[in-house]
């Protein structure tokens, strides 16, 4: 397993739309393992392949405290979403240190393949529904900050670019 490099907003590669996985094979299973290791190391609760510069529809998530309930979603799609919304404070491994409230469907029904290529459908609500919608946004080329006001987006972009400049200065000296 390998720790993969997580792209950081506003990297343009985060806005690429991921292509469907044609076949769940050993290459995809290795990607899943590497993504899971990267997510746990970060640490985070979800990671989309887009965030590690692989533009295929693969997501890993684990909402457990013990990091013992890995969920793999390949070619995930939301096949139903409630009209009821919930507001959660979201963060993102690609936007470190930034958290803000985002409105999303309160309940969803999801269809996806697992790491063995088996199709499954399930209902989700609460944090699981939020996480799935957040990661599917990544697969569709969208970062959660794009769901915020233009003013907040500009503040976040400027904050991140400033942090990056400071990191470059620190590493140069």
- Annotated binding residues for Fe cation: 92, 134, 138
135 catalytically annotated = yes
Quick one: the chain helix, strand, coil %, rounded to 5? 40, 30, 30
- Rounded CA-CA distance 15/114 in Å is 25
The answer to whether residues 9 and 154 touch, using CB atoms and an 8 Å cutoff, is: no
Q: Which of 56, 90, 115, 135 is catalytic?
A: 135
Residue 103: strand, helix, or coil: strand
Partners of 88 in the β-ladder: 102
Binding site residues, as ranges?
92, 134, 138
Q: What is the dihedral of CA 96, 152, 139, 86, to 10 degrees?
A: 100
Catalytic residues: 135
């Amino acid at each position: 397993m390998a720790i993969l490099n997580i792209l950081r907003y506003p990297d343009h590669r985060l806005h690429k739309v991921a292509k469907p996985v044609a076949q769940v094979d050993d290459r995809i299973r290795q990607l899943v393992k590497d993504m899971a290791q990267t997510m746990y190391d970060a640490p985070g609760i979800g990671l989309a392949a887009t965030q590690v510069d692989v533009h295929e529809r693969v997501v890993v998530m684990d909402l457990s405290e013990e990091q013992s309930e890995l969920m793999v979603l390949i070619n995930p799609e939301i096949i139903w979403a409630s009209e009821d919304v919930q507001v959660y404070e979201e963060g993102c491994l690609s936007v470190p240190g930034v958290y803000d409230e985002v409105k999303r469907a309160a309940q969803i029904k999801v269809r996806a393949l697992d790491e063995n290529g088996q199709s499954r459908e399930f209902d989700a609500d609460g944090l699981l529904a939020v996480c799935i919608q957040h990661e599917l946004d990544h697969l569709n080329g969208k970062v959660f900050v794009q769901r915020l006001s233009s003013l907040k987006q500009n503040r976040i972009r400027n904050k991140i670019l400033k942090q990056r400049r400071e990191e470059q200065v620190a590493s140069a000296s």
